[in-house]
Structure 1
Amino acid sequence: MATKKVTITLPEDVIEYIKERVDARGVSAFVTEAVENRIAADKLAELSGMLEEEFGPYSEEAYDAVLDRIAAMDAWHDAMRVGEYATRTEAREEAVAEPELPQERAA
Structure 2
Amino acid sequence: MATKKITITIPEELLEEIRADAAERGVSAYVAEALWAKRDRDRLVELVDWLQEEHGPVTDAERAAALAELDSIDAEHRNRRGGGSGAVA
Q: For residues 15-36 of structure 1, give each alpha carbon's deviation from its aligned partner in whole angstroms, at most 9, with x where no partner exists.
A: 0111121236511111111111
Greater RCO (CA < 8 Å, at least 6 residues apart):
1
Confirm whether residue 54 of structure 1 aligns to residue 64 of structure 2. Answer: no
Q: Which residue of 2 aligns with 1:75?
A: 75
Q: How does 1:80-91 map to 2 (within 5 A)?
A: 80-82=80-82
Inter-partner Cα distance in structure 2 for 1:57 and 1:25: 41
Q: Which residue of 2 aligns with 1:9?
A: 9
What runs of 5+ residues in structure 1 fail to find an aligned partner?
85-107
> 1:42 deviation in Å?
0.5
Amino acid across the alignment from 1:82: G
Amino acid across the alignment from 1:19: R
Amino acid across the alignment from 1:31: V
| Identity rate, percent | 43
Q: TM-score, normalised by structure 2?
A: 0.85
Please report the RMSD computed on the Cα atoms of aligned residues, expressed in angstroms: 1.7
Q: Which residue of 1 aligns with 2:36?
A: 36
- What is the aligned length? 84
Q: TM-score, normalised by structure 1?
A: 0.72
Inter-partner Cα distance in structure 2 for 1:83 and 1:41: 29
